[in-house]
Amino acid sequence: MCGIIGFKGTGLVTAELVEGLQRMEYRGYDSWGVAVMTKKGIFVEKKVGAIGDGKLEQPPVDALLGIAHTRWATHGGVTKTNAHPHLSKDKRFAVAQNGIVENYLELKSSLQKQGYQFKTSTDTEVIVHLIDAKLKQVKIFAEAVRLAFLELIGRNTIITLDQQTEQIVAIRNGSPLVIGHLPDGGVLLASDTLPLAGKARTVTYLDDQQLVVINDKVSVFAVKTGKPLKLHQQKFDFIEQKIDKAGFDHFMLKEIVEQQYTIKEAVSYSDQELLPLIKALKKARTIYTVGAGTAAFAAGQIARVLRVVAKLPVQELKAYEIDSYLPLMSAKDLLLAVSQSGETADTLDAVGKAQKRGVTIASIVNMIGSTLSRGSQYAYLSRSGPEICVASTKAYTAQLAWGYLLAMTIIGKHKQAQAEIGKVAKKLKGYFTDQTFRQLQKLAIDLAKHEHFFVIGKAQHFYTALEGALKIKEITYKHFEGFSAGELKHGVIALIDQGTPVFGIVGNDQYQADVLSALAEVRARGARTFGITARPNEFFDVHIPAIDGGNLDSITKIIPFQLLSYFLGIQQKNNPDKPRNLAKSVTVK
Ligand code: M6R
């Protein structure tokens, strides 16, 4: 939710900021803006829409430092006026924010009483006026920012640029902020590590409630006390990965196709590397897996495989529904958090609550250097490389592959798991062909007229049904509902009407008969059935070929949904990489 960047250094400041925003665009793409400082003052330019080629009307070439922001709107519509950064009335400083000022109405009315006039409908403007008010009292810019910040309630990360002191002052609280130290002495400050890749040699991850001042040097302070803190620099070995579409029309298709490689990377952990976590899992009384959205479905699949294969007592939870479980949690338990970004507010919140009960935290995260990884006792990476499309595809399957490896390693079958994943990877390579794409494109044309769809599955296919439905909702904006085959007769069947499309995920397993009979039942009531499976069957009106992945069907059977959502999205003229209303990293609650 929103990407923030600041830069002080040599070179073209505006270009550096715009490039950083482009790398973080997946964090929000309603509107964007830059504020750069030249000898003449602060220049601000804002645009509505995605950053795209990042062209500005008159970018100053002599800027010395600057800040920029890509927005996912919370308060106030998507307009140029509401876009960040916001300039103070006297044009002395500019502010950009990632978060929500929960008490902004109270602050606004108190500031209005002091004579401040509001031009935007954002909560950010409150911060601008508050800083201005504090500045009148304390005269020191960084102190004014700190004091203003102390009045804000909510998860807020802010960045400011001050003309008079030639400083960037930022505070992290809730959403991430990482300082990249460049070899030539320059400093890049960003919401995630992507803008720093290939540029910074060392980084400093700010913790919540820390304030950074960037002028000739970089200094960090505790927000509460204002006391200086030690600057912890660590090596940054995030090799620059080309963030391009590699010839594909969209990141989504590229990332779907990449899964033939990424699932293998995810299981490149040796058994020794997994051992510390395995010991902790075996010791735990109850293991909880937790995540949000797609990551919650990955957490569900991982929990299931740990139960079925490793026979461990594992319970999957939705991050935002953890509260009723908290009284049951103690230091005897372990929580495995699953996340692509490692910055999801709901997941971090759940982890924080469990941590307070003494629960051991493990995580599987895709992004390097995330808050979640840094706060985990056992931190693993899904190693899929940057996932740019807002809808998660390759991170999801990588996490499933890692979960399978973990479960199999627990029962002494580490090598076998790696070999099985290797085989699936090969099969995927054979699946991603023009023939498959054409078939799904044709299906997308056929399905475009429908608004309501259902998908049924059982056991591992149940989670696939949920994730498949989410993918289609995100990319096509169509109503696609996933449920367990077992649930059908308990109410859902009432929705089936003449021609209703119902998908069935059919594995070559003990649940095959259940899903097939569910399809037969809906067909008898007029549904048009679509079978996602390796072979055609008399119960299907339409057969959608999928790879038989055996124990790894959770990986192979989600792929047709990913592809179908992509082609159906294209059919609808949607941008699959940037679905409406969504942002990749949901850092607000
Ligand atoms: O970064 P995370 O994996 O923690 O994100 C969790 C969800 O917000 C995310 O999976 C969301 O559901 C995606 N848009 C799914 O495609």
Ligand 1 centroid from CA 390, angstroms: 8
Q: Kindly give the pairing relationship between strand 210-214 and strand 178-181.
A: unpaired
Cα 287 versus chain centre, distance: 24
pLDDT: which is higher, 26 or 90: 90
Task: Tell me whether domains 3-235 and 242-429 share a fold.
Answer: no
Ligand 1, atom 7, residue with closest C-alpha: 293
As a whole number, mean pLDDT of residues 564-571 equals: 96
Q: Which residues contact 116 (CB under 8 A, 6 or more apart)?
A: 129, 132, 133
Task: For residue 321, give the 3-state DSSP assignment.
Answer: helix
Q: What global pTM score does this model have? A: 0.87
Cα–Cα distance, 289 to 293 (Å, whole number)? 13
For 242-429, which CATH superfamily applies?
Glucose-6-phosphate isomerase like protein; domain 1 (3.40.50.10490)
Examine the pLDDT at 384 and tell me if it is beyond 60: yes
Examine the pLDDT at 239 and tell me if it is beyond 80: no
CA–CA distance from 109 to each of 95, 115, 121, 153 (Å)?
Answer: 20, 10, 13, 15
Query: Backbone phi, then psi, for 313, in 5-degree steps?
Result: -80, 90
As a whole number, mean pLDDT of residues 441-454 equals: 95
Helix, strand and coil content of the chain, in percent to the nearest 5, comes to 40, 20, 40
pLDDT: which is higher, 243 or 426: 426
Give the DSSP H or E segment for 335. Answer: strand 334-339
pLDDT band at 238, cuts 50/70/90?
low
Catalytic residue among 108, 318, 478, 584: 584
pLDDT in tens, 284-321: 999 999 999 999 999 999 999 999 999 999 999 999 99
Q: Which residues contact 581 (CB under 8 A, 6 or more apart)?
A: none
CATH code: domain 433-589 is 3.40.50.10490
Contact 436, 261 (CB under 8 A): no
Contact 108, 175 (CB under 8 A): no
Examine the pLDDT at 370 and tell me if it is beyond 60: yes
Q: What angle do CA 350, 194, 234 make, to 5 degrees?
A: 80
Q: Which residues contact 260 (CB under 8 A, 6 or more apart)?
A: 425, 426, 428, 429, 432
Contact 83, 121 (CB under 8 A): no
Contact 566, 77 (CB under 8 A): no
CA dihedral 509, 270, 384, 300 (to 10 degrees): 40
pLDDT band at 75, cuts 50/70/90?
confident
Residues with a CB atom less than 6 Å from ligand 1: 292-295, 339-341, 344, 347, 390-392, 474, 582, 585-586
Residue 584 known to be catalytic = yes
pLDDT at 502: 97
Q: Which of 392, 397, 472, 558 most suits a substitution to test ligand 1, by most atoms within 8 Å of the C-beta?
A: 392
pLDDT in tens, 37-57: 999 999 999 999 888 888 998
CATH code: domain 3-235 is 3.60.20.10
Cα–Cα distance, 216 to 229 (Å, whole number)? 17
pLDDT at 268: 96
Ligand 1 centroid from CA 392, angstroms: 6
Ligand 1 centroid from CA 190, angstroms: 20
Q: Which of 26, 317, 371, 586 most suits a substitution to test ligand 1, by most atoms within 8 Å of the C-beta?
A: 586
Termini Cα distance of the chain: 10
Q: Which of 294, 376, 402, 472 most suits a substitution to test ligand 1, by most atoms within 8 Å of the C-beta?
A: 294
CA–CA distance from 554 to each of 113, 384, 475, 507, 562 (Å)?
Answer: 58, 17, 20, 10, 13
Catalytic residue among 2, 46, 458, 557: 2
Other CB atoms closer than 10 Å to residue 481's CB: what's the count?
17
pLDDT at 241: 60
Cα–Cα distance, 577 to 561 (Å, whole number)? 16
Sheet holding 93-99, edge to edge: 86-87, 93-99, 156-162, 167-172, 210-214, 218-222, 228-229
As a whole number, mean pLDDT of residues 484-503 equals: 92
Strands (DSSP E) along 89-183, which ranges? 93-99, 156-162, 167-172, 178-181
Joined together, the tokens standing for residue 468 give 């498949």
Ligand 1 centroid from CA 143, angstroms: 36
Cα–Cα distance, 436 to 275 (Å, whole number)? 40
Contact 385, 262 (CB under 8 A): yes
For 461-529, the DSSP string reads: HHHHHHHHHHHHHHHH--EEEEEEGGGGGGTGGGG--TT-EEEEE--SSTTHHHHHHHHHHHHHTTPEE
Dihedral sign, Cα of residue 439, residue 440, residue 441, residue 445: positive
Cα–Cα distance, 568 to 537 (Å, whole number)? 24
Cα–Cα distance, 309 to 409 (Å, whole number)? 10
Ligand 1 centroid from CA 578, angstroms: 13
Cα–Cα distance, 20 to 417 (Å, whole number)? 39
pLDDT at 526: 95
Q: Which atom of ligand 1 is nearest to the CA of 372?
A: 4
Strand-pair partners of 67: 6, 35
Q: Kindly give the pairing relationship between strand 360-365 and strand 314-318.
A: unpaired
Q: Which atom of ligand 1 is nearest to the CA of 585?
A: 1
Examine the pLDDT at 237 and tell me if it is beyond 90: no
Examine the pLDDT at 240 and tell me if it is beyond 60: no
Joined together, the tokens standing for residue 35 give 């504020």
Ligand 1 centroid from CA 396, angstroms: 9
Cα–Cα distance, 352 to 323 (Å, whole number)? 12
Ligand 1, atom 12, residue with closest C-alpha: 293
pLDDT at 135: 97
As a whole number, mean pLDDT of residues 457-483 equals: 96
Cα–Cα distance, 176 to 208 (Å, whole number)? 8
Q: What is the mean pLDDT of the chain?
A: 94
pLDDT in tens, 253-292: 999 999 999 999 999 999 999 999 999 999 999 999 999 9
Considering the chain, what percentage of its residues have pLDDT values greater than 70? 99
Q: Which of 317, 341, 565 most suits a substitution to test ligand 1, by most atoms within 8 Å of the C-beta?
A: 341
Q: Domain locations in the chain? A: 3-235, 242-429, 433-589
pLDDT at 175: 86
Q: Which residues contact 486 (CB under 8 A, 6 or more apart)?
A: 458, 514
Contact 87, 81 (CB under 8 A): no
CA–CA distance from 289 to each of 172, 274, 336, 339 (Å)?
Answer: 27, 17, 5, 11
Cα–Cα distance, 360 to 368 (Å, whole number)? 21
CA–CA distance from 508 to each of 437, 533, 551, 589 (Å)?
Answer: 24, 8, 10, 40
Ligand 1 centroid from CA 393, angstroms: 10
